[in-house]
Amino acid sequence: MKILFIGNSYTFDNSLAKMFEALANENGKEVSAFSVAPGGRELLDYEKRDEATIELEGLISENLFDVCFIQEESTMPMKAYDRFEKGVKIILEMLGEKAKRVILFNTWGRKEGCPETLPEYGWTNESMTMGLWEGYSKAAQKFGLSISAVGLNFFEINTNHKDIDLYNEDLAHPSYKGSCLACMTHYYTVFGEPPASTSTLKLSAKETEIFKNTICKKHK
**Domain assignments of the chain as residue spans, ordered by start:** 2-218
pLDDT for position 116: 81
pLDDT digits (tens, 9 = 90+) for 128-186: 999 999 999 999 999 999 999 999 999 999 999 999 999 999 999 999 999 999 999 99
Global confidence as pTM: 0.96
User: What tens digit of pLDDT does each residue of 84-127 get?
Assistant: 999 999 999 999 999 999 999 999 999 999 988 888 889 999 99
- Is residue 27 within 8 A of residue 65, CB to CB? The reply is no
Task: Label residue 187 by pLDDT band (50, 70, 90).
Answer: very high
Cβ distance 73 to 41 under 8 Å?
Answer: yes
Q: Tell which residue, 194, 173, 204, has the closest CA to residue 16.
A: 173
* Distance of alpha carbon 78 from alpha carbon 95, whole angstroms: 24
| Fold (topology level) of 2-218 | Rossmann fold (3.40.50)
Q: Identify the pLDDT of residue 219.
A: 59
